[in-house]
């Protein structure tokens, strides 16, 4: 199963017309789909935000792409999963630094270190696929996501 199909089949895709006013709100909004599925709690989301406050914008893994996550052993992790959220405009994590903003959010949660590392590896494989970041950045609807999923259906995951 491809990562895109995983997101779609598990109802973990959220596309937002409105962009949050700041990065803290963006992390909360991007985490909603994992909370709805009882994979994480608000406590996990607070830990992610606290980590960014302490360590800086390390979760912006490449311009345009954000990977909110905390330690696998952290509080508030009920299961393993990755949620995908796309905002219409980039959210800034560092004023005046375009390299530290993103509109594609992949929120990770895992019950143990092995699953955490597997999630990251699968996500990196997806994002290193030529054209993937641009294709996902351009989607505006779930139908657009399905079209991208079909376009990249042979991209491996898991």
pLDDT, one tens digit per residue, over 95-123 is 999 999 999 999 999 888 888 888 889 89
The pLDDT score that the predictor gives to residue 154 is 63
The pLDDT score that the predictor gives to residue 71 is 77
Q: Are 36 and 55 in contact (CB under 8 A)?
A: no
- Residue 136's closest CA among 125, 149, 154? 149
Q: Are 127 and 62 in contact (CB under 8 A)?
A: yes
Lowest mean pLDDT among 3-17, 25-39, 115-129: 115-129
Q: Give the C-alpha separation, 93 to 26, whole Å.
A: 10
pLDDT, one tens digit per residue, over 136-155 is 999 999 999 999 999 987 64
Q: Would you say residue 1 has pLDDT above 80?
A: no
Q: Would you give the distance in Å from CA 104 to the centre of its chain?
A: 6
Res. 92 pLDDT band, cuts 50 70 90: very high
List the beta strands (DSSP E) in 10-156.
13-16, 60-62, 64-66, 81-92, 101-109
The pLDDT score that the predictor gives to residue 111 is 86
Q: Would you say residue 26 has pLDDT above 90?
A: yes
Mean local confidence (pLDDT), 54-59: 93
Mean local confidence (pLDDT), 124-147: 94
Q: 0.85 cut: is pTM over it? A: yes
Q: How far is CA 111 from CA 33, 44, 75, 116, 125, in A?
A: 17, 12, 10, 7, 21
């Amino acid at each position: 199963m491809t990562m895109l199909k995983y997101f779609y089949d598990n109802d973990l895709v959220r596309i937002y017309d409105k962009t949050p006013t700041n990065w803290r709100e963006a992390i909360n909004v991007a985490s909603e789909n994992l909370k709805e599925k009882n994979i994480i709690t608000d406590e996990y989301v607070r830990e992610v935000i606290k980590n960014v406050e302490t360590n800086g914008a390390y979760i912006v893994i490449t311009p345009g792409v954000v990977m909110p996550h905390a330690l696998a052993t952290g509080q508030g992790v009920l299961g393993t999963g990755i949620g995908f959220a796309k905002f219409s405009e980039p959210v800034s994590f560092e004023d005046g630094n375009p390299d530290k903003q993103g509109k594609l959010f992949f929120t990770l949660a895992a019950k143990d270190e092995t699953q955490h590392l597997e999630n990251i590896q699968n996500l990196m494989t997806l994002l290193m696929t030529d054209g993937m970041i641009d294709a996902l950045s351009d989607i505006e609807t779930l139908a657009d996501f399905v079209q991208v999923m079909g376009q990249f259906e042979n991209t491996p995951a898991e």
